[in-house]
Structure 1
Amino acid sequence: MQEPWNWTRTDLDALVGQRESLHLDFKQSALFNGPPERIAENLSAEVSAFANTEGGTLVIGMIERKEGRARIADQLDGGISSASWPPERLEQLVTSNVHPYLPGIRLKYVPLDNASGHFACIIAVPQGTTAYQARDHRYYGRSEYQSLPLLDHDIRLRMFRGRMKTASLRVGTLTSERVSVPFNSISRSGALLSSGVRALFSNISNTDPQRIVKCVLQLAIENSGEININEFKLSWTRTSAILEWNTRNANSFAARDGVPPSFAFNRGTPQSVNIFPHDNHSAINDIFYFTEDEDLDDAQLAYDWTLYLSDTLPISGKLTISKAVVGERV
């Protein structure tokens, strides 16, 4: 899917059935039936929550249904009138009611019916560099299901966010090529093998070469803060629907490439680096093999990771490797 500020009606239709999440929230257009002060209070709370967490997208014009604690996008509603709420008016209302000023907010109107002049509205909110206050003088944060006021210690952490080290795990590069190699050399390499590759070789000699697809994936630590990172530790685990390690080499690969999850920063020897702000450093290199009728999305390959930096709290996340993600990073 495209960046939110480039979404079309087709992209909005594709959201139907999706849950609200840490990075996605839905609101009905009825939000705009109230007085401007009430609209500003509601919208500024959502923008504050995204800015104080990891950024996200607010879609206005979507009817929701509830399943347990989760809210699910059900269908688009009638939208908001561009005559009553032109984009520049709405943008001014949002930006003027979040403090301090948050640069980088993007607003997009998507026509629902060309004849009616009604639109769905998309507000893309970046992650901020400090703590951001809504119109009601509260600081909000985002969870999987809702936006809630932050506690005092959470507010303080965010206020110092611009002066603390922060980073994340990102896709660096992914290359692929058709290869012809003996299966025994693959099985000894410790690479990730798909179930299709194992099945392909199950009834033939280990020395018979076959043409398969070899992928080399590089994951990098990206310095997303404003302070140089000069040392780190990284713990991670991977999961996949069709890929698995060669069991003979699994332990040695895990020990060589990953730090055991029990590591704390003050134990052992961190890796010395010099990662400048907005730069990256190669951290994980994985090799895996597919058959020709499998692809990256079939693998459902994901990395759960925790990054330990000096003088800051551990940073954790989950990186799912898909063709869409790789397309953004390569």
Structure 2
Amino acid sequence: MKWSLETLQSYISDGIEENLVLEYKAGDALQKNDKKKGDIAKDVSAMANSAGGTIIYGIREFQTKGKEHLPEIIDAVKREEISKEWLEQVINSNIQPKIENVLIIPIPVNAESVVYVVEVPQSDTAHQASDFRYYKRHNFVCVAMEDYEIRDIMSRLKHPKVELEFLIERIIVQEKDSISGRIKPNGSSYLDYNLKFAIRNLGKIYAKYVNYSIELPQEILENGEEYKESLERRRFRVFYGDNTYRDIIDIKISAAGEPYNSYGPSRYDPILPGTTSRSEVIRLKRNLRNESYNIYWKVFADNAEPGIGEIAISKLLSNATDVW
């Protein structure tokens, strides 16, 4: 984003609330005493330990109840007292290890005052503040991290982070003439549904070996399937898969003269950071309604902790892609 005084004013006039990746600080948050320096280290390290984000030093929030996290006015910093270089030195010297690629953008308000916009990237390791604690962003505040959370952040460069992504295709099938094969103008139609899914690597290193399982409720599948039953008497079917792939190595001709593909042995196809695997498809029942059921999934990648999740069928249906 290109920051300017107009951008800051629009944040105030539009009532952009603080969130996980945005924090407002009044001008007096930047002072040259040890407590304020410690607060700066805590706020910046918490942002890096979480999702990354932006801290704006020079916007004051409302003090009235119910509006505490909304920006009220610009409350700028005196440039001659607090320089960009001083702020940079405080951040670098009070956080261990140093956070790379922190960007400090001065936004002049007038000749004497300035607002500092600090853009903090999400880090690949955990960063410790000057009080020897590790912090994270939780809602609107910084809180100390649990031991398992610290270890999870430190593993960002050791293990891939994978999850399953889902999409429903809504296939509109119209009745055709049995002789001409053309669609009948007043013919009937029905809806077929496919569940498409893929493995996405959200981490910073590639995922070499991936296995997953997907639980689908009986109510959304075609009849004739074999189902298991949960403790809650819920009937479901489990689908298993991995990231293996078989290459086409030759095209052969059958005894009937028809060509067919000849495949090599299965191999694991690594999933690079920020990419997805090839999509897989599961056929769902015809004329699927807005069912109040969930899909449950687990995914395992290399030596990483397993990923577990669920998604509502109704949410997928509301975002379904139409295919004609």
Question: Under a length normalisation based on structure 2, what TM-score does the superposition of the two structures give?
Answer: 0.59
1:24 to 22, 33, 39: 22
User: Is the 8 Å Cα contact of residues 23 and 54 (structure 1) preserved in structure 2?
Assistant: yes
User: Is the 8 Å Cα contact of residues 233 and 308 (structure 1) preserved in structure 2?
Assistant: yes
- Quote the offset at 1:67 in angstroms: 7.6
User: Is the 8 Å Cα contact of residues 211 and 240 (structure 2) preserved in structure 1?
Assistant: no
What is residue 134 of structure 2 aligned with on the other side?
139
Q: Unaligned regions of 5+ residues in structure 2, if any?
A: 175-184, 189-196, 223-237, 245-268, 281-294, 312-324
User: Per-residue displacement from partner, 1:250-287 (whole Å, max 9, x unpaired)?
Assistant: 9469xxxxxxxxxxxxx7423316345435125679xx
1:312 to 300, 305, 322: 305
Equivalent residues in 2 for 1:280-291, closer than 5 Å: 280-281=275-276
Q: Unaligned regions of 5+ residues in structure 1, if any?
A: 171-184, 190-203, 208-217, 237-249, 254-266, 286-303, 319-330
Matches of 2:202 and 2:296, distance apart in 1: 15
- Quote the offset at 1:98 in angstroms: 0.9
What is residue 13 of structure 1 aligned with on the other side?
9
What is residue 105 of structure 1 aligned with on the other side?
102
SS at match of 1:127: coil
User: Is the 8 Å Cα contact of residues 80 and 118 (structure 1) preserved in structure 2?
Assistant: yes
SS at match of 2:69: strand
User: Per-residue displacement from partner, 1:125-153 (whole Å, max 9, x unpaired)?
Assistant: 11111211001111001111211011222
Percentage identity across aligned positions?
A: 20
User: Is the 8 Å Cα contact of residues 307 and 316 (structure 1) preserved in structure 2?
Assistant: yes
User: Is the 8 Å Cα contact of residues 222 and 278 (structure 1) preserved in structure 2?
Assistant: yes
User: Is the 8 Å Cα contact of residues 107 and 123 (structure 1) preserved in structure 2?
Assistant: yes
User: Is the 8 Å Cα contact of residues 156 and 203 (structure 2) preserved in structure 1?
Assistant: no
Equivalent residues in 2 for 1:244-263, closer than 5 Å: 251=220
- The number of residue pairs the alignment matches comes to 236
- Quote the offset at 1:234 in angstroms: 8.7
- Quote the offset at 1:86 in angstroms: 1.9
- Quote the offset at 1:186 in angstroms: 6.4
2:157 to 151, 155, 162: 162
Higher helix residue share:
1
SS at match of 1:96: helix
Matches of 1:317 and 1:91, distance apart in 2: 42
What is residue 288 of structure 1 aligned with on the other side?
none
Matches of 1:317 and 1:51, distance apart in 2: 27
Is 1:271 equivalent to 2:247 in the alignment?
A: no
What is residue 299 of structure 1 aligned with on the other side?
none
Is 1:63 equivalent to 2:60 in the alignment?
A: yes
User: Per-residue displacement from partner, 1:164-214 (whole Å, max 9, x unpaired)?
Assistant: 2224789xxxxxxxxxxxxxx96449xxxxxxxxxxxxxx9789xxxxxxx
- Quote the offset at 1:105 in angstroms: 1.0
Equivalent residues in 2 for 1:166-205, closer than 5 Å: 166-167=161-162, 187-188=172-173
User: Is the 8 Å Cα contact of residues 26 and 60 (structure 1) preserved in structure 2?
Assistant: yes
Q: 1:7 to 1:219 in 2, by over 3 A?
A: farther
- Quote the offset at 1:220 in angstroms: 7.7
User: Is the 8 Å Cα contact of residues 47 and 122 (structure 2) preserved in structure 1?
Assistant: yes
